[in-house]
Amino acid sequence: MEKHDVVILGAGAAGMFCAIEAGRRGRRVLVIDHARAAGEKIRISGGGRCNFTNLGIAADRFLSQNQRFALSALKRYTQWDFIARLDAAGIAWHEKTLGQLFCDGPATQIVAMLLDDMRRAGVTLWLETAPGEVRTTPGGFVVETSRGPVQAASVVVATGGKSIPKMGATSYGYRLAESFGLPLVETRPGLVPLTLAAQELEALKPLAGVAVQGSVTAGRTRFDEALLFTHRGLSGPAVLQASSYWREGQPITLDLARGMDAAAHLRKARSEAGRVAPRTALAQILPEKLARHVEALAGLNGTLADQANATLDRVAALVHGWELRPVGSEGYRTAEVTLGGVDTDALDARTMQARNVPGLHFVGEVVDVTGWLGGYNFQWAWSSGWAAGQVV
């Protein structure tokens, strides 16, 4: 039987990072992935430029039942550590917005760097290999694989979440956790476009393709970024962010003209050019199609001069607080991440080891730690992979 010190299941961001660290410590490491290539999500991420980290890493940028769980790993392997790594590899990068760091060139540079580091660290990589059952033995674990059983002292589960099944995402890691008795936090798609009911979509049809620098609030969390009306509902960074906080049945609130005072604007416009239609004044602070829609939604007739203060205030309230009730999301087909996962209560924050199963570790997205849009999820993958890599 093949024998290794460490078997890592999943050659994504977290698995590769863990493998490099363990390999550098002299451990004999085998990484197994059913995909044809390693690091596929890195390759396609950030529009092919990989938003690999964020300058603003902080606990409140992560969703988890225990928001502080991620901090140990994030503080020990920081965004600055990863940036230094890219600098040393000669991979150029830039800040796009909101602390989001992207490669100047293709994201495949990062995949190549990781594969190179794995090779130098003596890591063995088995692609197109399906792992099966994992069971404990007196010396550690036996992992059944499509190439036969493999023995290891430690197993690291880095099989990611359920997002984009077309790219090979599976529930394997969650099932494995359950088979060892670890609790799961219910999983759902995150960073995902939200969908609207057919009737509402029909009314919003003319707005498809319209984008504004607005904000979206779901629950108590508000995101000031762009939002976009689509043929299915709502998208854009503010909506993707809010989707992670949205629960079925809840409304979300849109501010279509963030940072402006629509009420003051409408009153001023009325005193200066009262003979125009309300939509004309609205179109000075909103895209024209949206201005028309808001006018219709508010049921306005006549000119601006015909509108009482209370009416203008009602229109302004709509501009800054338009409540919509999504019926769902586009689901794992397009979601960037999976919320929920292996319950952090069952894991040691320093080592990512299952408290009740010595030698079994979970890293990356399979764990109930989900970052905001903007490089947070890769930083979690690097940091958690690094943390486990120090001890396996």
Task: Give the span between the Cα atoms of 111 and 135, in whole angstroms.
Answer: 31
Where b means 16+ CB within 10 Å and e means fewer, 230-269 reads bebbbbbbbbbbbbbbbeeeeebebbbbbebebbebbbeb
Angular region, 378: left φ>0, alpha ψ -120 to 50, beta rest: alpha
38-46, 204-212, 302-310, 339-347 -> range binding ligand FDA (CB under 6 A): 38-46
Q: Yes or no: say if 184 and 340 are a contact pair by the CB < 8 Å rule.
A: yes
Task: Give the span between the Cα atoms of 351 and 337, in whole angstroms.
Answer: 23
Task: Choose which of 41, 162, 267, 293 interacts with ligand FDA (CB under 6 A).
Answer: 41
Task: Give the span between the Cα atoms of 53 and 45, in whole angstroms.
Answer: 12
CA dist list (Å): 14 to 187, 248, 392:
19, 30, 14
E-state strands within 178-304: 184-190, 194-195, 211-213, 215-218, 221-223, 226-229, 233-235, 252-255
- 13 binds ligand FDA, rule: CB under 6 A: yes
Task: Choose which of 160, 190, 236, 237 interacts with ligand FDA (CB under 6 A).
Answer: 160
For the purposes of burial, counting CB atoms within 10 Å of the CB of 308, is it exposed (0-12), middle (13-18) or buried (19 or more)? exposed
Task: Choose which of 163, 244, 329, 344 interacts with ligand FDA (CB under 6 A).
Answer: 163
Task: Choose which of 164, 182, 210, 387 interacts with ligand FDA (CB under 6 A).
Answer: 164
- 337 binds ligand FDA, rule: CB under 6 A: yes
Q: Coil, strand or helix: which one is 222?
A: strand
Q: Yes or no: say if 16 and 35 are a contact pair by the CB < 8 Å rule.
A: no
Q: Which residue's CB atom is positioned nearest to ligand FDA? A: 12
74-82, 161-169, 267-275, 325-333 -> range binding ligand FDA (CB under 6 A): 161-169
Task: Give the span between the Cα atoms of 125 and 118, in whole angstroms.
Answer: 9
Number of Cα atoms under 13 Å in the Cβ half of residue 62: 30
**Backbone angles phi and psi of 214, in degrees to 5:** -120, -150
CB of 59 or CB of 263, closer to ligand FDA: 59
CB of 107 or CB of 266, closer to ligand FDA: 107
- 51 binds ligand FDA, rule: CB under 6 A: yes
- 114 binds ligand FDA, rule: CB under 6 A: no
The minimum distance between CB 143 and ligand FDA, in angstroms, equals 11
- 109 binds ligand FDA, rule: CB under 6 A: no
The minimum distance between CB 9 and ligand FDA, in angstroms, equals 6
CB of 14 or CB of 387, closer to ligand FDA: 14
Task: Choose which of 83, 112, 130, 324 interacts with ligand FDA (CB under 6 A).
Answer: 130
CB of 201 or CB of 387, closer to ligand FDA: 387
The minimum distance between CB 43 and ligand FDA, in angstroms, equals 10
For the purposes of burial, counting CB atoms within 10 Å of the CB of 348, is it exposed (0-12), middle (13-18) or buried (19 or more)? middle
Q: Which two tokens stand for residue 323?
A: 């409540």
The minimum distance between CB 358 and ligand FDA, in angstroms, equals 22
37-45, 143-151, 213-221, 274-282 -> range binding ligand FDA (CB under 6 A): 37-45
Task: Choose which of 158, 177, 212, 346 interacts with ligand FDA (CB under 6 A).
Answer: 158
Task: Choose which of 24, 35, 105, 289 interacts with ligand FDA (CB under 6 A).
Answer: 35
- 177 binds ligand FDA, rule: CB under 6 A: no
DSSP run (H or E) holding 94: strand 93-95
> By the criterion CB under 6 A, which residues form the site for ligand FDA?
10-15, 33-35, 40-41, 44-46, 50-51, 130-131, 158-160, 163-164, 168-170, 172, 336-337, 364-365, 375-378, 381
